Chain A
Amino acid sequence: MRELALNILDITENSVSAGAHLIEIDVLADFAKDEMAIRIRDDGCGMDEQMLATVCDPFTTTRTTRKVGMGLPLFKFSAESAGGIFSIRSEKGKGTEVVATYRIGHVDRMPLGDFGGVVLQLVTMNPQVDFVFTAQSGETTGKLDTRELREILGEDIPLGAPEVRSFLREYIQENLVDIFGGRL
């Protein structure tokens, strides 16, 4: 993993397979304090305390094909190697929240990468899930809520339709450039 955006994609896939209906993803940057935070919160099945205690161990996984699961360990590593803190909270049946913080100027902080592309992919490829994305930098905040998009489009046009996709790509990209201006 060379981009934080890819970590976000990966962790969010966990939320999707946890059966979440609503997933909130925040990328919050404070350039004055040299801090940024990534938060992913879902209303999926959550996990019990025993699972939570070992979930950041690469040898803990829910998959059946093999015994290693690198998603959360890699995300944790990305934060802790860049002067940040990683935390995960979860409650069985309620959902899970993962937060990673970073020092923006830390030499080992991975670039955010193609976050716009990841947002587009999540929105258009998961018809059964709603997303709320928040991107914040100082005073500027941008929000994308798929429930709002679905309301505009109506029931017969999916978010993944090619025409909608190309609109969303530009819409997301323009707003992200406006908020972060390529500084992450």
Chain B
Amino acid sequence: MKSLEELRALREKMRSQTDNRSVAADGETVIKVGMATCGIAAGARPVLEALLDEAEKRRLHNVSISQTGCIGMCRLEPIVEVFRDGQKYTYVYMTPEKARRVVAEHVVNGNVCTEFLIGEN
């Protein structure tokens, strides 16, 4: 069974790494997932989970993922908003699989997944 002692050890390990991490930050990407009743009921939690998991696996330190309230278009939920280079991209009807593709293609490689954007649906 894991104990909080392990967290203490983890902290020491992370302290020694913090220096070389901040270097890679060029142009932060902000990702927001709608997490109100409408979003949760439509399956926003697995989508958020997939985004976080993908960011963790790829060690994306210049990406901030957060949740937000009702975006106002409940019928299009789950909605993911990506803010990048001063632009906002709204992805609708998201699934965990689509979310992983958005991370790989848009966030990492800079190619917008146009087929998931709000105008296309």
Residues of B within 8 A of A57 (CB): none
Interface code A147-184, partner B: CB below 8 Å = 1, 0 otherwise?
01100111011000111111100110011001000000
Decide yes or no whether B23 CB sits under 8 A from chain A: no
Give the distance in Å from the alpha carbon of A118 to the alpha carbon of B35 in the complex.
12
Q: Which of B36, B41, B55, B66 contacts A162 (CB 8 A)?
A: B55
Residues of A within 8 A of B1 (CB): 174-175, 178
Give the distance in Å from the alpha carbon of A77 to the alpha carbon of B69 in the complex.
22
Decide yes or no whether B117 CB sits under 8 A from chain A: no
Verify A13–B35 contact, CB threshold 8 A.
Answer: yes
B44-52, B87-95, B99-107: which one contacts chain A? B44-52
Decide yes or no whether B4 CB sits under 8 A from chain A: yes
Decide yes or no whether A19 CB sits under 8 A from chain B: no
Q: Which of B2, B69, B70 contacts A171 (CB 8 A)?
A: B2
Give the distance in Å from the alpha carbon of A157 to the alpha carbon of B9 in the complex.
13
Decide yes or no whether A125 CB sits under 8 A from chain B: yes
Give the distance in Å from the alpha carbon of A179 to the alpha carbon of B15 in the complex.
33
Decide yes or no whether B40 CB sits under 8 A from chain A: yes
Residues of A within 8 A of B56 (CB): 162, 165-166
Verify B40–A162 contact, CB threshold 8 A.
Answer: no
Decide yes or no whether B24 CB sits under 8 A from chain A: no
Give the distance in Å from the alpha carbon of A1 to the alpha carbon of B36 in the complex.
12
Q: Which of B5-20 contact A (CB under 8 A)?
A: 6-8, 10-11, 13-15, 18
Q: What's the minimum C-beta distance from B48 to chain A, rounded to whole angstroms?
A: 7
Residues of B within 8 A of A114 (CB): 45
Q: What's the minimum C-beta distance from B64 to chain A, rounded to whole angstroms?
A: 9
Q: Which of A32-90 contact B (CB under 8 A)?
A: 63, 65-66, 69-71, 74
Q: Name the residue in B1, B7, B35 with the highest tally of chain A Cβ atoms < 10 Å from its Cβ.
A: B7
Residues of A within 8 A of B67 (CB): 121, 125
Give the distance in Å from the alpha carbon of A90 to the alpha carbon of B69 in the complex.
22
Q: Which of A9, A63, A165 contacts B45 (CB 8 A)?
A: A9
Interface code A74-112, partner B: CB below 8 Å = 1, 0 otherwise?
100000000000000000000000000000000000000
Name B residues whose Cβ lies closer than 8 Å to a Cβ of A. 1-2, 4, 6-8, 10-11, 13-15, 18, 35-38, 40-41, 45, 48-49, 52, 55-56, 59, 66-67, 69-70, 72, 74
A-B contact pairs, 10 of them (CB 8 A): A1-B41, A13-B35, A66-B74, A70-B37, A71-B37, A125-B48, A152-B8, A157-B11, A157-B18, A174-B1
